[in-house]
Amino acid sequence: MSDDYGHDDHPSPWGPHDWGHGAPHNSFAPLILSIGVGLFLLMVGGLFTFGEFDGRYLPMVFVALAVIAAAIVVWWRQDMSFDGSYEPRARGVPFKNIQIRKVGVWVFLMSEMMIFSSLFSTYMRYRQGIPRCDTIFESGDWVEGVAVNCFEPASQLIASSWWHIAPGAINTFALIISSFTIVQALRWAHKPVGSVDEDVRRKRIYRYLGATWCLATLFLTLKMIEWFIGFHVPEIGFLGIHEHEIHSLYSEGYLINNDHYQAHHYIDEATGAHMVANIQVSASLFYVTTGTHGLHVFGGIIGLSYLTYKAWTGAYNPQSAVSIEYFGLYWHFVDLVWVLVFPFFYLY
């Protein structure tokens, strides 16, 4: 096997890569991906100015997505030939003899911890620093028609009934189960050669990875229903359930740019006066935090699509199972973050 620090030829920075010559250090994929993600975030930020949509940035958003897609294609072409015969290890302290890719994953996850820690701390700071809307309403310190600056947790709507909270609760179980399925995929990939039929190994791995993909897709689907669509609850007589509609957060007016939020529970029964609230801060914190997590789930779906396809080709075995392990580290992190997001933003 060639030395990773030698002068082997790495013929193509675009892939497919000959792993017999070592890792593809000249790959363009990381650079292209970084440029694409940076451009995407910059252009998405320009789409909305003070809550107003600005379509001038939309073409560049699609350009950024095309750049990201190109980076993913390059990465997939180079990784598809990876059979586990070469897994570079760090040679310097403090990571000596640890797989370089594993070190990279842990460094990445540490940076992700800082992102979500910032979001959580910001949420708690504003949650404690801005008076709650229900407190102001009960105190009577408001005037009809004049917007009150207050904090309205999304839980005021989501936790108002079991039906409202159902999508988030199902999503919690879906992600927990998906962590189990990804571990099962890794377990079957690690089974020693000869201890199991290779076709059985192939089927079990891609089925478990496919199940993880389905659960992740279910998560985002329910998230979209919760945010934008809502759902209809039919009448179930023997359970005492009456027919009614569960409205989405969008239709309820829980929006980032809503400075005149009118909730049905902020009506003075004695006078009929309706308190109007500016909920831009609280809504922004909810959507930015849960949306950031949702983007991580979407990124996981992209990775799972590739892993599932590669598993279907029978490419995973005890030697190449590390790729599933590294993705599993990321996926467990995404699961753990949601376990914290759910009680903080949906119940509290």
In this predicted model, what pLDDT tens digit does every residue of 45-58 receive, in sequence order?
Answer: 888 766 677 788 88
User: What structural domains and CATH numbers belong to the chain?
Assistant: 1-86 (no CATH), 125-347 (1.20.120.80)
DSSP code per residue over 238-293: GGTBPPEEE--TTTTT--TT-SSB--TTSB-TTT--B--EE-HHHHHHHHHHHHHH
> Which range, of 17-31, 46-60, 81-95, 153-167, averages the lowest pLDDT?
17-31
In this predicted model, what pLDDT tens digit does every residue of 99-134 receive, in sequence order?
Answer: 888 888 899 999 999 999 999 999 999 999 999 988
pLDDT at 223: 94
- pTM as predicted: 0.86
- Higher per-residue pLDDT: 90 or 138: 138
In this predicted model, what pLDDT tens digit does every residue of 266-283 receive, in sequence order?
Answer: 888 888 888 888 988 999
Asked if 106 and 329 touch (Cβ cutoff 8 Å), the reply is yes
Average pLDDT estimate for 163-185:
93
| Tokens at 68, concatenated | 């990201």
pLDDT at 20: 56
SS3 233: strand
Asked if 197 and 306 touch (Cβ cutoff 8 Å), the reply is no
Residue 60 Cα to chain centre, angstroms: 23
The single residue listed with the structure tokens 């015969």 is 85
pLDDT at 1: 40
pLDDT at 267: 87
SS3 82: coil
Helix (H) or strand (E) holding 322: helix 322-341
Average pLDDT estimate for 83-108:
80
Q: Which residues on adjacent β-strands are paired with residue 315?
A: none
Report the alpha-carbon distance of residue 348 to residue 343 in Å, rounded.
6
Helix (H) or strand (E) holding 73: helix 58-79
Asked if 8 and 21 touch (Cβ cutoff 8 Å), the reply is yes
Q: Which residues on adjacent β-strands are paired with residue 134?
A: none
Average pLDDT estimate for 321-341:
94
